[in-house]
């Protein structure tokens, strides 16, 4: 993969600033409670509960009510052209670009704490007055949401028995001064780690990394069978950048964090502790989901007990709304790469490209381009479609 100067969110923002129309910064005061997402809906792109109808700039909010010096960026990956720009390729080549990275992984490396920008400022949960809700300007996207959500939190954990690592993005709702609920889609690798720890009666150490290099976010959204249990998706990001992702030991728990993250929340998933997702709002709703509806709040979710928050000086909170083109690209581009990889193994030379169409939220609809070189090739497109269906249970139309 070609070398790239981008290793963190700030480098990505600097690149967007060089391209007119890709980043809009505003100092107008905005309330993180339903207002920030509403402004982005109309100025940036998309909608809080309606399918996006246009493509607009990423937005940086520098005046967040109730949070001195806080900044929130949204929509970094909400445009396929912008994603391609940030990854050094073209929009139509994104799936193939990710394929090559998947095939040539570069494992992450450890760095010393003094070389980790994410630990420039440290807040321990034992500090007087510690309150996650005052440190992190997590937006509440709609008045019906269960609470403030961390929507771009890359969760890191390790298998308590084997030490194998995994990173994934999960639905995280702030539930108090030092508690966060965590929703696991069935089959997620990090949940398998949590269940092993819970069976042993032990907490599962975890870090939540916010504000990252776009390559890290995209890479983390690969799923099985492309990335089986024990495969560290950060190695895909390392391949995309031609440089290993740098990690650092957490200050309060036995986990690792992305060294260049803007914000890191350190904590432990508590064994046999559950909380209602909407325990405070009582709306019965969680937050808008990628297909375009508000998902129901879960009655019982695992709880993260926060032990520390570390961050860079004047950190940038990264977020997204649902549904949006950001969801489409995060889910869809790795899906494209996975289908290409799988079909090429079984039917080499047939598949030319794949497009995870936005109408399916990046998960439900895939358009396959095939090349039929001879009459016997007729029908092989059906074989390709069946391979795609067999690999992705959420896929509905090919």
Task: List active site positions.
Answer: 289
State the Cα–Cα distance between residues 371 and 347, nearest whole angstrom.
11
CA 311 from chain center: how many Å?
A: 18
Q: Dmax over Cα atoms in the chain, in whole Å?
A: 75
Token pair for residue 40? 């982005």
Strand partners, 167: 156
Q: What is the DSSP letter of 156?
A: E
Question: SS3 for 374?
Answer: coil
DSSP 26-60: E-S-B-TBTHHHHHHHHHTS--SSS-------EEE
DSSP 158-207: E-TTT--EEEEE-EEEE-SSSEEEEE--TT-HHHHHHHHHHHTT--EEEE
State the Cα–Cα distance between residues 23 and 80, nearest whole angstrom.
14
Strand partners, 275: 301
């Amino acid at each position: 993969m070609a070398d790239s100067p981008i290793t963190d969110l700030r480098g990505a923002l600097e690149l967007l600033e060089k391209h007119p129309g890709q980043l809009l910064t505003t100092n107008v005061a905005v309330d993180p409670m339903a207002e920030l997402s509403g402004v982005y809906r109309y100025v940036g792109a998309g909608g809080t509960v309606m399918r996006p109808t246009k493509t607009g700039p990423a937005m940086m909010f520098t005046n967040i009510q109730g949070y001195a010096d806080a900044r929130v960026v949204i929509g970094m990956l909400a445009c396929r052209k912008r994603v391609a720009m940030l990854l050094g390729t073209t929009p139509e080549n994104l799936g193939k670009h990710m394929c090559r990275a998947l095939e040539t992984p570069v494992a992450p490396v450890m760095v010393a704490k003094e070389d980790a920008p994410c630990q420039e400022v440290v807040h321990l949960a034992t500090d007087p007055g510690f309150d996650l809700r005052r440190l992190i300007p997590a937006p509440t996207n709609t008045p019906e949401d269960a609470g403030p959500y961390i929507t771009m939190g890359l969760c890191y954990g390790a298998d308590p028995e084997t030490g194998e690592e995994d990173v994934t993005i999960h639905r995280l709702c702030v539930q108090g001064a030092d508690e966060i609920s965590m929703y696991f889609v069935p089959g997620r690798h990090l949940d398998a780690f949590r269940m092993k720890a819970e069976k042993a009666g032990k907490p599962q150490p975890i870090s939540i990394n916010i504000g990252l290099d776009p390559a890290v976010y995209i890479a983390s959204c690969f799923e099985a069978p492309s990335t089986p249990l024990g495969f560290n998706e950060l190695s895909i990001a390392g391949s995309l950048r031609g440089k290993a992702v740098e990690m650092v030991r957490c200050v309060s728990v036995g986990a690792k964090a992305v060294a260049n993250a803007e914000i890191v929340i350190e904590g432990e998933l508590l064994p046999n502790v559950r909380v209602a997702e909407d325990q405070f709002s009582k709306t019965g709703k969680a937050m808008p989901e990628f297909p375009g509806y508000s998902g129901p709040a879960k009655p019982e979710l695992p709880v993260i007990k926060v032990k520390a928050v570390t961050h860079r000086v004047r950190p940038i909170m990264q977020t997204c709304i649902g549904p949006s083109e950001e969801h489409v690209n995060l889910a869809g581009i790795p899906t494209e790469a996975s289908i290409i990889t799988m079909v090429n193994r079984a039917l080499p030379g047939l598949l030319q490209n794949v497009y995870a169409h936005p109408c399916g939220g990046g998960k439900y609809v895939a358009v396959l381009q095939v090349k039929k070189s001879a009459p016997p090739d007729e029908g092989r497109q059906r074989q390709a479609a069946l391979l795609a269906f067999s690999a992705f249970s959420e896929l509905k139309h090919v």
